[in-house]
Amino acid sequence: MFTIKWVRKPIFWLKQKLSRNQFLIFSGIIVGLTAGMASVILKTLVHYLHLSYTIDLPYNSDRILVYFLPLIGLVLCVFITRYFFKGRDGRGLVNILNDIAVRSSLVERTKMYSQIFTSSVTVGLGGSAGLESPIAVTGSAIGSNYGRVYGLNYKDRTLLLAAGAAAGIAGAFNAPVTGIMFAAEVLLAGIGITEFIPLIIASVCGALCTKIIFNENILFQFKSLQVFNYWNVPFYLVLGVFCGLLSIYYASMTEKVEHALSKLNSMPYGKAVVGGLILIGLYFLFPPLMGEGYESIKKLADGDAANVFASSWLGTKFSPSVWIITLFIGVVGLIKVFATSVTIGSGGNGGNFAPSLFVGAYVGYFFSTFFNLLGFDRQLPVSNFTLVGMAGILSGVMYAPLTGIFLIAEVTGGYDLIIPLMIVSVSAYLIARTVHKFSMDTRKLAEKGEIFTDDRDKNLLSAIKMAEFIDNSQQTLKPTDNLAELIRLYRTDKQDRFAVVNEENHLLGIVTFDMVRDEVFNIDDQENVLIGDRMSKPLAIIHINESLHKIMSTFDATKSWYLPVVEDGVFKGFISKSAILNSYRKQLIVHSGY
């Protein structure tokens, strides 16, 4: 769309006529509307696919073939990814975070539409995952490529990338504040953004697309709430702790399932079939696991858990007592994590946003109903706990408490639950972060320094490439060379240090002018003094795959300004602390205003 000639020409003209802030506001509108429409298209497509095979009705043996749809969806997703997108699926928000930190916020063009195709066949045909992550990736790609086409710098391009994601999330829930909070917490982590106006406008535009086009059945909204009673605060605190522990379980289960399925990476179609067969068995026993699961969440919030239980084959084998239904709901909430991990790990495209809401709703319902069944004098409001539990698990899984708080506040049409939402979300987040510093989606890349975190200095260093600072132009010496050869190098090379290597170019040591200062002026002994007798071990050795954050720590510890770099023992050159600091200052300028 942005590359069409008749579209580009007027936008380029506006860029020349408007100030930077004015053009960013205009761009926020364009990106927001485009990302909002992408969200509408994807959510509508999946919604009507679900309606074509709905299994929310009481169990019926005639619908057994429906359970095979997820297997078909996984195989189709693998096929589309391999043959239309050359295996570059670009799944997950962590890849967008990597694009921000490593690729100067340049997102591949194909991500503007690839996510719609792959996630619609995965989730639309019953995969147990969410659409919000693909929607956010799509919006991010739209914002990034808009900025690239119109020549915006890194700072403005990153802002529009986040604006696209915010619009997508806002469109998915008709919740503009949630979109803003999501972009600020998840995509702009550690970047203090001061120019929120384009982000706000894009989010509002995304929500407007939903408000105007969607019918109410597609929207994720709740209306039946009970008044908040401050006497229930202790129970909300316990629920927050419970959600925090379950968030840790969520991350652990996801990691284990993905690791197990990764053994089948050489057989992508075989992996999809294995995942599909597992899902068939799970759906037969627990139909609510199929798809995003928002319809069953609404039923729980409306107090219609019996209908959820009746949709299962188990509903025909057990009497629908309150205890049986409550136990069923609790088990489904736990197994949802496994089903989502299988869906994504076996080749499907989806995210953990909707599954975390699903798990939270089921956990909140189970928690409140369980306490009510114990016969306490005070009865807990089940619908409130169901909704608040959603915010708790979302906060603990994605490390985004503000997103969880404002999402539930917006989809319920008010802020009546703001206090319990804060209690549960913050409690769950703090407990999960106590165990793991980074969320499960970002942990691996965050520890490698390949995405931005809340450490500003580390963020800036991660944007600097080590290869730019390795000086490999210097000549080297052998240990059998004499002092005369070193003096010759001093005359032709401005450096005052040289690496001493063997025949395989493995680093043996270094020699500096200070080490041979006394012999330099003794002309008679220059031929007899061997470099191997004068060299010394470097204070530290830098390995080529080390992060710049670790390299700077090494410089500080050794108080050196130059250190040798090796790769598997082979000398690659020297790296300069002053060159890194100069690049760091440039990055500060680029990120100024963030």
Judged against a pLDDT cut of 70, whether residue 462 lies above it is answered with no
pLDDT computed for residue 594 by the predictor: 44
pLDDT computed for residue 54 by the predictor: 66
- The mean pLDDT value for 535-541 works out to 86
- The mean pLDDT value for 74-94 works out to 85
Sign of the dihedral through C-alpha 493, 494, 500, 502: negative
pLDDT in tens, 381-390: 998 999 999 9
Name which of 241-245, 455-459, 470-474 the model is least confident about: 455-459
Structure tokens given for 12: 């380029």
Neighbour-count burial of 330, counting CB atoms closer than 10 A to its CB (0-12 exposed, 13-18 middle, 19+ buried) = middle
- The mean pLDDT value for 192-219 works out to 74
Structure tokens given for 94: 């962590």
Judged against a pLDDT cut of 60, whether residue 3 lies above it is answered with no
Percentage of residues in the chain having pLDDT higher than 90: 36
- The mean pLDDT value for 512-526 works out to 67
CA distances from 135 to 206, 412, 567, 573 (A): 11, 22, 41, 45
- DSSP notation for 522-589: -GGGTTT-BHHHH-B--S--EETTS-HHHHHHHHHHHT-SEEEEEETTEEEEEEEHHHHHHHHHHHHH
Percentage of residues in the chain having pLDDT higher than 70: 85
pLDDT computed for residue 2 by the predictor: 57
Name which of 171-185, 380-394, 543-557 the model is least confident about: 543-557
Domains in the chain: ranges and CATH: 5-213 (1.10.3080.10), 230-455 (1.10.3080.10), 460-590 (3.10.580.10)
Judged against a pLDDT cut of 90, whether residue 528 lies above it is answered with no
Name which of 255-264, 420-429, 573-582 the model is least confident about: 573-582
Rounded Cα–Cα distance for residues 300 and 309 (Å): 11
At 106 the three-state DSSP class reads coil
Q: 369 or 228, which is more confident?
A: 369
Name which of 200-214, 307-321, 401-415 the model is least confident about: 307-321
Long-range pairs, 444-449, Cβ under 8 A, ≥24: 445/94, 445/97, 445/98, 448/547, 449/547, 449/548, 449/549
Estimate the crossing angle of helix 382-398 against helix 294-301, to 10 degrees.
Answer: 140
Its pTM stands at 0.81
- The mean pLDDT value for 26-35 works out to 93
DSSP code of 508? Answer: E
Structure tokens given for 498: 């040289």
- The mean pLDDT value for 388-411 works out to 93
pLDDT computed for residue 442 by the predictor: 81
Residues 498/486, Cβ–Cβ less than 8 Å: yes
pLDDT grade, residue 275 (50/70/90)? very high
- 250: Cβ contacts below 8 Å, ≥ 6 apart: 337, 352, 356, 359, 393, 396, 397, 440
pLDDT in tens, 65-77: 788 889 999 999 9
Rounded Cα–Cα distance for residues 479 and 373 (Å): 82
Rounded Cα–Cα distance for residues 410 and 325 (Å): 29
Judged against a pLDDT cut of 60, whether residue 448 lies above it is answered with yes
Rounded Cα–Cα distance for residues 187 and 453 (Å): 10
Judged against a pLDDT cut of 80, whether residue 514 lies above it is answered with no
Rounded Cα–Cα distance for residues 171 and 184 (Å): 16
pLDDT in tens, 107-128: 999 999 999 999 999 998 989 9
Judged against a pLDDT cut of 50, whether residue 593 lies above it is answered with no
- 160: Cβ contacts below 8 Å, ≥ 6 apart: 24, 27, 28, 31, 143, 144, 146, 147, 152, 198, 202
